[in-house]
Amino acid sequence: MSIFSLDIAYLLGYNIAILGERAFIKSRRPQRGRDSMAMDYSRLQDILKTNGTTIYKLNAEKVIGSATRQKLLGQVSGGIDSRTIEALCKRLNCQPGDFMTYVPDDP
């Protein structure tokens, strides 16, 4: 793979791994406004503490899946399904705005 090809792949949003003299395209990088939403879930920890539970317990209770758990912890980018938000609100007795905050893009 040429340096030109790597530059184009990087500009198109791909992660590139270089091993010795070889380069591999690993995966697509998440881009704000495209693959991920500008939402902050940091207040969820307070609500979980108030309810005496953890995000891992919610996962074990099948309230959320492992992919959603990773998104809420900020380990993976992406949006959360409205049915999952509804299940969280029902289980934690709260409103979406109690644990979700919109973070606008920088101008």
Task: Considering only residues 49 and 38, tell me which one the structure prediction assigns the higher pLDDT.
Answer: 49
**Which residues constitute the domain of residue 48?**
39-102
Same domain, 47 and 82: yes
Same domain, 23 and 62: no
- Tell me the Ramachandran region of residue 52: left when phi exceeds 0, alpha when psi lies from -120 to 50, beta otherwise: left
Q: What was the pLDDT predicted at 5? A: 52
Total count of domains within the chain: 2
Same domain, 6 and 57: no
Q: Please tell me the distance from the alpha carbon of residue 29 to that of residue 3, in angstroms, as a whole number.
A: 19
Same domain, 50 and 2: no
pLDDT in tens, 46-77: 999 999 999 999 999 999 999 999 888 888 87
Same domain, 59 and 81: yes
pLDDT in tens, 72-107: 888 887 888 899 999 999 999 999 999 998 888 765
pLDDT in tens, 14-32: 555 555 555 455 544 455 4
Q: Give a yes or no: residue 107 inside a domain.
A: no
- Sequence-distant (6+) residues with CB within 8 A of 12 are none
pTM over 0.75: no
Q: What is the domain-level CATH number for residue 57?
A: 1.10.260
Q: Which residues of 79-92 are buried (b: 16+ CB within 10 A; e: fewer)?
A: ebeeebbebbbeeb
Q: Please tell me the distance from the alpha carbon of residue 56 to that of residue 40, in angstroms, as a whole number.
A: 19
Same domain, 98 and 57: yes
Same domain, 43 and 90: yes
- Sequence-distant (6+) residues with CB within 8 A of 88 are 58, 63, 64, 94, 99
Same domain, 20 and 53: no
Same domain, 15 and 53: no
Same domain, 10 and 48: no
